[in-house]
Amino acid sequence: CSPSAPACSHRGTAQIQLLLRVCKEAKKSAYCPYSRFPVGAALLTGDGKIFSGCNVENACYPLGVCAERTAIQKAVSEGYVNFRAMAIASNTEEDFIVPCGACRQVMREFGRDWDIYMTKPDGTYIVKTLQELLPLSFGPEDLKKF
Ligand code: THU
């Protein structure tokens, strides 16, 4: 199958295969006593480094953070802002796990032209660019127009 196929278990590059493994592993660290919905993320930087993340919930519910944003904040705080891909994993068997709207906006801060791999526990995934996930988006360039 091709990377643009709607759903596949195609063996991508070794780096993407690793990314897919790391997001599944990161899910094991999820701190989600309230939702009991563990999510793992793995973020691949332009120079090949991988940052993992999991959701981190809080007794004050709105303070909970998604796995995707945990990974991005870990990367940015270590000096990495150039991203090539992110993979996301959950335990939902029926659907591919998709990033929430807030995470899409945070991802978009770092470009529109990178890939998000949305997986199922059986190893299949769909892949979309940020541009596809968040069309007509507002980003850093828009602040430079006046
Ligand atoms: N969650 C994520 O971490 N990423 C997603 O893509 C969807 C939702 C988390 C937030 C919350 O801790 C739990 O899953 C249930 O919404």
Query: Which atom of ligand 1 is the closest one to the Cα of 64?
Result: 12
- The domain that contains 27 carries what CATH number? 3.40.140.10
34 Cβ closer than 6 Å to some ligand 1 atom: no
In this structure, is residue 1 part of a structural domain? no
Spell out the per-residue pLDDT of the chain, length 146, in tens.
455 555 555 456 999 999 999 999 999 999 999 999 999 999 999 999 999 999 999 999 999 999 999 999 999 999 999 999 999 999 999 999 999 999 999 999 999 999 999 999 999 999 999 999 999 999 999 998 77
- Angle subtended by helix axes 14-27 and 67-77, to nearest 10: 110
Sheet of strand 115-119: strand arrangement = 50-54, 39-45, 83-90, 115-119, 125-129
For 2-78, where are the alpha helices, taking DSSP H only? 14-27, 67-77
Query: Phi first, then psi: what are they for 108, rounded to 5°?
Result: -65, -25
Domain range spanning residue 64?
6-143
Q: Exposed, middle or buried by CB within 10 Å (0-12, 13-18, 19+), for 119?
A: buried
Question: Does 91 carry a binding-site annotation?
Answer: no
In this structure, is residue 23 part of a structural domain? yes
In this structure, is residue 62 part of a structural domain? yes
In this structure, is residue 102 part of a structural domain? yes
Give the count of domains, the chain. 1
In this structure, is residue 98 part of a structural domain? yes
Question: Does 59 carry a binding-site annotation?
Answer: yes
68 is catalytic: yes
The three-state secondary structure class of 61 is helix
Query: Which atom of ligand 1 is the closest one to the Cα of 69?
Result: 3
